Amino acid sequence: MTWLPADFVHPVHVPLLDGAYHLRPIREADAPMDYPAVMGSRERLFGIFGPAWGWPAETITAEANRIDLARHEREIAAHQSFNYALLDAAETAVHGCVYIDPPERVGADGEISWWVVDGLVGSEVEQAFDALVPKWIESDWPFERPRFLGRGISWQDWLALPAAPDA
């Protein structure tokens, strides 16, 4: 992929709140934790991501979710895109995710979005996560013009932008 330098090494562990939580690349094996996180927050997540991605569909099954995570794991290995799970220290539950993708719309060199489960909305964890992600992208990723979807630009405004040439 031309969107990242050939020698870029993606982070594999990013601590949050003194290690009480952390980010790491999501794996197919996380599906039993990811599915309840996604489906337990599905209505709110669809309100955020649905217009752009049609995700998460009301009819998604645990098996479809596992297949999706396997695809994400392959994309991470190939540096095509990145999905990081927000996990507690013991990795007993997925509490949210960060997506780092090549630009689909003009004007950015990376597009980043993230979410937490419903139970963490408005919490200290969400506030720390919201503060961490842009700093982490700035310090550990090779982007000059990252775009924070739903944060620095509304999803509606993003959808109105012209498609990137390689998208």
Q: Tell me whether residue 4 is in a domain.
A: no
pLDDT digits (tens, 9 = 90+) for 84-104: 999 999 999 999 999 999 999
The pTM of the full predicted model, rounded to 2 decimals, is 0.95
Edge-to-edge strands, sheet with 14-16: 14-16, 21-25, 82-88, 94-101, 110-116, 146-148
Q: Tell me whether residue 33 is in a domain.
A: yes
Q: Tell me whether residue 167 is in a domain.
A: no
Q: Tell me whether residue 148 is in a domain.
A: yes
Q: Tell me whether residue 7 is in a domain.
A: no
Q: Find the length of the chain.
A: 167
Q: How many domains does the chain have?
A: 1
pLDDT digits (tens, 9 = 90+) for 133-149: 999 999 999 999 999 99
Distances (CA, A) of 124 to 56, 116, 127, 130, 131: 25, 12, 5, 10, 11
Question: Domain of 128?
Answer: 14-160
The domain that holds 42 is classified in CATH as 3.40.630.30
Q: Tell me whether residue 2 is in a domain.
A: no
Q: Helix, strand, or coil here: 163?
A: strand
